[in-house]
Amino acid sequence: MSRLQERFAELKSAKRTALVCFITAGDPSVATTLGAMHAMVEAGADVIELGMPFSDPMADGPAIQKASERALAGGASLHGVLSAVESFRETDNATPVVLMGYLNPIEAMGAEKFSNAAFNAGVDGVIAVDLPPDEGGTELSAMRAAGLDPIFLIAPNSTAERIKQLCSSATGFVYLVSIKGVTGTRTADVAEAKQQLDEIRACTQLPVGVGFGIRDGAAAGAMAQIADAVIVGTVLVEQFALHTDTPQAIPAAVAKVVRDLRRGIDSVQ
Q: What is the pLDDT of residues 106-160, one digit of tens each?
A: 999 999 999 999 999 999 999 999 998 888 789 999 999 999 999 999 988 899 9
CATH hierarchy code of domain 3-266: 3.20.20.70
**Pick the catalytic residue: 27, 46, 60, 124?**
60
Stated pTM of the model: 0.95
- The answer to whether residue 130 is catalytic is no
The structural domains of the chain, with segments of one domain joined by +, span 3-266
As a whole number of angstroms, the distance between CA 33 and CA 28 comes to 8
Q: Is the dihedral of CA 233, 250, 25, 146 positive or negative?
A: negative
pLDDT at 185: 44
| Cα dihedral: 141, 120, 228, 223 (round 10) | -100
Low-confidence ranges of the chain (pLDDT < 50): 181-185
pLDDT at 59: 73
Q: Could you say which of 46, 49, 124, 260 is catalytic?
A: 49
3-state secondary structure of 186: coil
The burial class, CB within 10 Å (0-12 / 13-18 / 19+), for 89 is middle
42 is catalytic: no
Other residues' Cβ atoms within 10 Å of the Cβ of residue 14: 9
